[in-house]
Structure formats: structure tokens, C-alpha cells
């Protein structure tokens, strides 16, 4: 534990330290490490206050605008445990707009092979994953099923066009969503993991009829608080969704060999590249509602690979070729 003296945090420190944050007249205690980022600090504050990181403004003596950079490591800041952060922000209960209005991320993450391999094996990332496993609790909506594989789904630009406007949210739902979920549910448990807040996951999925559909059941929902921050030499600092968290929570059901994740951003499964499939982003829903066939094709792929013992040995980048080859074999039988 960090000392209460006025000595700043040593550079590159992985030792846990305790910081004080004042918000709405109350003091909160936040535990972080030097290898965490400002964004991770905000995530920890969110757990205590329900103020989303995107809604937080942090104030601290002599740091000024540095705290606006979520990618900055805390070890790069002169922090004194005797001083307090002041946080200004509003909880989602007091807002009526979707908080995810940050600039759109166009994913261009093409890591060199050695980086892609090393990220999951770096000690600093292993420590971050262990801390997240200890901090985050997965609430089951429905029981895990013995013998089923696991499908983990993103929401924005994967199942739902969150950038377009509509009178009814159903107009922004990706075509064939319910048919897709109902079909793959026979072989897969389904978890939904979004980089937004749990409130908005529940709201969006509830509006789309995903949470109470009689033809399938959602096992669990995970939000931005389950993510971790990683750093790469070529792409800098960014958040990702480590599947190891789910595997650690439910080791008797899920592991690297029976899990697949769909996301339109490759960076989100950088800790588990062998388990990720980059789905084509669903945008401009009004124009593409009649032409988008992505979920139809992916249904065929998921059902075709469900009989395999180890999904991590597949190259999901070539999923369409795999589906085409299976279709050819069926026609020539």
C-alpha cells in the first residue's frame, strides 16, 4: 500500500496506491496502480459514483489539462496521496441522452505479429486482468448451460446502429438479429459486452426485445467496467475486452477453446486475438436495412464450427471462406 507521505508515485510503479476523490460533497477512496491510466482511474471512480468516465472532469493541483488525456499513465503524474482529486460530473440517472457521443472510432488496428502475440503475455497486462477479475462481478441473467460454447457480442455497430436517428429503436436494429440469436442459441450461450454503461446496455437491449425473447436467453451483460487498458509500442494506449475475465469467472463452462467474440473493433479482442471475429460494422441503418446479410452468413458459420472441439485453432479472419467451403461440400454429397 502506498505511504501517506508526500512522496510522489515512483515512475513505472505497479504497487497499489490509494487516492482520495471528492465529489458532490463526499469523499471516496480509489485504489489504482501506477501502470493504470487516467482512463482507468475514471473507471474506478465510476464504480463508486455511477458517473461515467466520459462525464467526469478531474481537478488536481498543478496537473491542469493533463487529466484530460485518458491514455496517460498515472506513473507519469506527480501524485501525492495527501491531496485530493475533485471530480465534477453528473450521474446517468440525471441525464436523458445516450452518453456515448465520443468521436467514432474507425478501427485500423493492425498490430505487428510479435506485438499481437506479446500483449496477452505481458506481465503488466496479466496484473491488470487479475485486478479486473477480482473487482468486477458478472451478474447472470440466466444459468450457464453445460456443454454449450460461448458467443460474446458487441452492441454498437455490431447489433445496432447507434449513430443514426430514428423514431423507433427497432429501425436501427441490425437485420435478422432475433433470427440470428434464436438459431445460434441451440449451440451457444450468449453474453453481450459493450463499452458503454450497464444502464444503456439494458435500455438498448430491452428496447430491441433481446432481454425477454421467448426463443433464446441472454446469459449475462458486461459493460465498460469489465474492460482493461493496454499499451502497445505501435498503437499506444487503448481499452479492450479480455475474455480471460469470463473464463476466470466461469471456468467450468467457458475457456479459450469454446469461445468466440464478435466485435467491429479488432482492438477489443487484442488480449484474445485467436477468439475474435471482426464483424462488418452496421452503419446507415435506413439505407442498409434491406441489404445487410451479415448475421445470416454468420449464423451459418457459427453452426458449422459448433461441432469443433477447439475454436481457437480457427482463423476467424477467413470465416467466409470456411462457410463457402462447407456449402460446397454439402452440395456435392
Asked if the model's pLDDT at residue 320 lies above 60, the reply is yes
Which of the two residues, 149 and 118, has the higher pLDDT score?
Answer: 149
| 106 vs 189, higher pLDDT | 189
Distance CA 242, CA 120 (A): 9
pLDDT score recorded for residue 94:
54
Strands (E) across the chain are located at 16-23, 26-33, 57-59, 84-88, 149-153, 188-193, 220-222, 228-232, 236-240, 259-263, 276-278
pLDDT tens profile 126-144: 989 999 999 999 999 999 9
Query: Which domains does the chain carry?
Result: 16-94 (3.10.20.90), 113-331 (3.40.50.1000)
Residue of 112, 119, 139, 92 whose CA lies nearest to 240? 119
3-state helix, strand, coil in the chain (%, to 5): 35, 20, 45
Looking at residue 92, its pLDDT comes to: 66
Question: What pLDDT is attached to residue 106?
Answer: 52
- For 230-264, give the DSSP string: EEETTTEEEEE--THHHHHH-TTT--TTSEEEEES
Query: Whose grid coordinates read 472441439?
Result: 309
242: nearest Cα among 76, 113, 98, 122: 122
Listed range (47-51, 96-100, 187-191, 228-232) with the worst mean pLDDT: 96-100
| pLDDT-derived band at 152, boundaries 50, 70, 90 | very high
Q: Is the per-residue pLDDT at 326 higher than 80? A: no
pLDDT of 10 above 70: no
Q: What is the pLDDT of residues 59-79, one digit of tens each?
A: 999 898 899 999 898 988 988
User: What mean pLDDT, rounded, does the chain reach?
Assistant: 86
pLDDT higher for 289 or 295? 295
Name the residue with higher pLDDT: 224 or 329.
224
Helical H segments across 10-148, by residue range: 38-49, 113-119, 123-135
- What confidence tier does 329 reach under pLDDT thresholds 50, 70, 90? low
pLDDT at 3 over 60: no
- pLDDT, mean of residues 276-291: 93
pLDDT digits (tens, 9 = 90+) for 299-317: 999 999 999 999 999 999 9
Amino acid at each position: 500500500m502506498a505511504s501517506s507521505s508526500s512522496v510522489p508515485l515512483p515512475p513505472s510503479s505497479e504497487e497499489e496506491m490509494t487516492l482520495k476523490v471528492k465529489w458532490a460533497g463526499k469523499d471516496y477512496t480509489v485504489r489504482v496502480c501506477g501502470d493504470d491510466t487516467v482512463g482507468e482511474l475514471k473507471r474506478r471512480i465510476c464504480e463508486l459514483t455511477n458517473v461515467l468516465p466520459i462525464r467526469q472532469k478531474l481537478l488536481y493541483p498543478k496537473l491542469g489539462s493533463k487529466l484530460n488525456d485518458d491514455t496517460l499513465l498515472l506513473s507519469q503524474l506527480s501524485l501525492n496521496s495527501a491531496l485530493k482529486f475533485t471530480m465534477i460530473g453528473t450521474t446517468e440517472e440525471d441525464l436523458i441522452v445516450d452518453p456515448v457521443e465520443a468521436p467514432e472510432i474507425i478501427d485500423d488496428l493492425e498490430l505487428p505479429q510479435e506485438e499481437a502475440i506479446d500483449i496477452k503475455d505481458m506481465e503488466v497486462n496479466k496484473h491488470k486482468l487479475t485486478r479486473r477479475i477480482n473487482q468486477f462481478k458478472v451478474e447472470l441473467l440466466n444459468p450457464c448451460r453445460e456443454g454449450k460454447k460461448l458467443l460474446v457480442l458487441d452492441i454498437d455497430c455490431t447489433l445496432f446502429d447507434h449513430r443514426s436517428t430514428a423514431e423507433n429503436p427497432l429501425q436501427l436494429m441490425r437485420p435478422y438479429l432475433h433470427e440470428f440469436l434464436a438459431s445460434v442459441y441451440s449451440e451457444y450461450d450468449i453474453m453481450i459486452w459493450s463499452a458503454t454503461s450497464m444502464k444503456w446496455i439494458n435500455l438498448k437491449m430491452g428496447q430491441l426485445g433481446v432481454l425477454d425473447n421467448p426463443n433464446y436467453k441472454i446469459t449475462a451483460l458486461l459493460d465498460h467496467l469489465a474492460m482493461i487498458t493496454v499499451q502497445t509500442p505501435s498503437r499506444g494506449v487503448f481499452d479492450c475486452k479480455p475474455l480471460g475475465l469470463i473464463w476466470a469467472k466461469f471456468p467450468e463452462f467457458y475457456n479459450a477453446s469454446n469461445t468466440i467474440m464478435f466485435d467491429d473493433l479488432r482492438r477489443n479482442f487484442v488480449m484474445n486475438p485467436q477468439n475474435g471475429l471482426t464483424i462488418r460494422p452496421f452503419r446507415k441503418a435506413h439505407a442498409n436495412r434491406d441489404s445487410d446479410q451479415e448475421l445470416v452468413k454468420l449464423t451459418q458459420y457459427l453452426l458449422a464450427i459448433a461441432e469443433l472441439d477447439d475454436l481457437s485453432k480457427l482463423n476467424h479472419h477467413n470465416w467466409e471462406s470456411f462457410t463457402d467451403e462447407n456449402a460446397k461440400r454439402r452440395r456435392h454429397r
